[in-house]
Chain A
Amino acid sequence: EVELVESGGDLVQPGGSLRLSCAASGFPFSPYEMIWVRQAPGKGLEWVSHISDTYALSNADSVRGRFTISRDNAKNTLYLQMSSLRAEDTAVYYCARVSRSSNYKEFDFWGQGTLVTVSS
């Protein structure tokens, strides 16, 4: 059974840093592209970052230069390193798997999310 479990969410002060983790199991992690999506309280979904199976990276304009996605295939784990955090980064952060069933452009499994709160 495919499972994605996020961790690392916490209360952090503005300007601070945090690293989120997403532990994957139930599927061969290394061939799959992965993403992070966030959802501010009471708001909609926002795509944040993508990493390919060959470690190519992309980021939303809102986090470029501050957030870095990475992966450790030996540990079956996806990461999101967040720095220079702002109040508007407060959200539940989800990791999700990019499907390999068609054109690799949709997200077929999601974790339950981890809450990041940026506040003084």
Chain B
Amino acid sequence: QSALTQPRSVSGSPGQSVTISCTGTSSDVGGYNYVSWYQQHPGKAPKLMIYDVTRRPSRVPDRFSGSKSGNTASLTISGLQPDDEADYYCCSFAGSYTWVFGGGTKMTVL
């Protein structure tokens, strides 16, 4: 149950697009189409942004999108807005009702 690998930080200017990667193994990210992404503002609870690799809850704007290739999943945020500045965590189902999170990425809007 090793943590998924995410970049420590990414940044972009308002209106730009940024992509956050999440690398696992064939036992988690590569083995299941059950990758989810969570946004966490400082001092707040995480919020579900993407699930099943590409699906968005209805309340999440379509500026957020997800994808996967092999053992690496990605979250892309387009049209960056100031409120997108937060920590982002990927999470993958890893079989037998276990899950593994990524180490988190701090997203800075310049």
A contact set with B: CB distance below 8 Å: 35, 37, 44-47, 50, 52, 56, 58, 60-62, 94, 96, 99, 101-103, 105-108, 110-113
Contacts and interface: CB of A to CB of B under 8 A. Distances in A.
Given A45-B89, A60-B1, A61-B1, A103 B34 contact: yes
Contacts of B1: 60-62
Contacts of B34: 103, 105-106
B97 A52 contact: yes
Contacts of B103: 44
Contact of A110 (B36, B45, B91): B45
Given A44-B3, A50-B97, A105 B47 contact: no
Interface residues of B, number: 28
Interface of B: 1, 3, 32, 34, 36, 38, 40, 44-48, 51-52, 55, 57, 89, 91, 93, 96-104
Q: Give the secondary structure class of A's interface.
A: loop
B84 to A, nearest CB: 19
- B3, B34, B48, B103 — most chain A CB neighbours (10 Å): B48
The 6 A-B pairs of least Cβ separation, nearest first, read A106-B51, A105-B34, A106-B36, A44-B104, A110-B45, A58-B97
B45 A112 contact: yes
Contacts of A103: 34, 52
Contacts of A60: 1, 98
Contact of A44 (B45, B57, B99, B102): B102
